Amino acid sequence: MFGLVNKGLEDMVCSQYGEATWTEIKSKAEVQIEAFISMDAYPDEITYRLVDATSAVIKMPTTDVLEAFGKYWLLFTAAEGFGSLMAMAGDNFPEFLQNLDNLHARMGLSFPELQPPSFLCSHLETASLKLHYYSERPGLTPMVVGMLKGLGEKFDTDVNIQLTASKAQGSDHQELSIAHKPKCPFKQFLHQNNN
């Protein structure tokens, strides 16, 4: 994974638990890297070790760490210079999800070695959809759930997410059924028509 991911995890931990906690996490994960470089690629194993160590040090289940990081990731990447790119991906929750692969393709211009997951929307209804999540990296579905919840907050939309198919059940990908409802439809209408 790119250093930006590890930097994001570091930023989340330091902002919520302090730098001493991050130092303890790196030590427990046996990670000797002083500072991660955003655009450099690092072995996925380092990220997994850091997540597991974060879970152990802050005494939070790994799935909860990943979900919290997914929500945090949206804020972090926007602050790291990807905010304008994210703004172009859509004006509402379902539109943004339909453009995730396009967003990753554009990010690939900055990160040529990027190996992002792939997302496909189906069963698009007024207030629901199915999100198909394809990834070679195991165990990151909770991070996706966190990102979806963060996007719900970004678009002032209530979201309810259910895992309806998974690799563990024999599927070739993860499938998430998502019910979504704007908290204030009129406010969202105004936002879309002022852009």
Look-up: residue for tokens 């211009």?
Answer: 109
48 and 99 belong to one structural domain: no
Q: Which two tokens stand for residue 116?
A: 């992002």
Say which amino acid occupies 20. Answer: A
pLDDT at 60: 98
Under 8 Å between Cβ of 77 and 86: yes
The SS3 call for residue 58 is helix
103 and 50 belong to one structural domain: no
Task: Dump the DSSP string for 64-91.
Answer: HHHHHHHHHHHHHHIIIIIHHHHHTT-S
67 found inside a domain: no
State the first-to-last Cα distance of the chain, in angstroms, to the nearest integer.
34
pLDDT at 12: 97
Say which amino acid occupies 67. Answer: E
Beta bridge partners of 120: 132
56 and 95 belong to one structural domain: no
70 found inside a domain: no
Say which amino acid occupies 122. Answer: S
Question: What is the CATH number for 170?
Answer: 3.90.1520.10
Q: How many other C-beta atoms can be found within 10 angstroms of the C-beta atom of residue 96?
A: 19
CA distance 158 to 166: 24
pLDDT at 191: 52
102 and 154 belong to one structural domain: yes
Based on the structure, what is the number of domains in the chain?
A: 2
48 and 86 belong to one structural domain: no
pLDDT at 165: 94
Long-range residue pairs from 52-56, CB within 8 A, at least 24 positions apart, any chain: 53/25, 53/26, 53/28, 53/29, 54/9, 54/13, 54/25, 56/28
Residues of the chain with pLDDT under 50: none
Range(s) of the domain holding residue 46:
3-60
Tens of pLDDT, residue by residue over 115-139, are 889 999 999 899 999 999 999 999 9
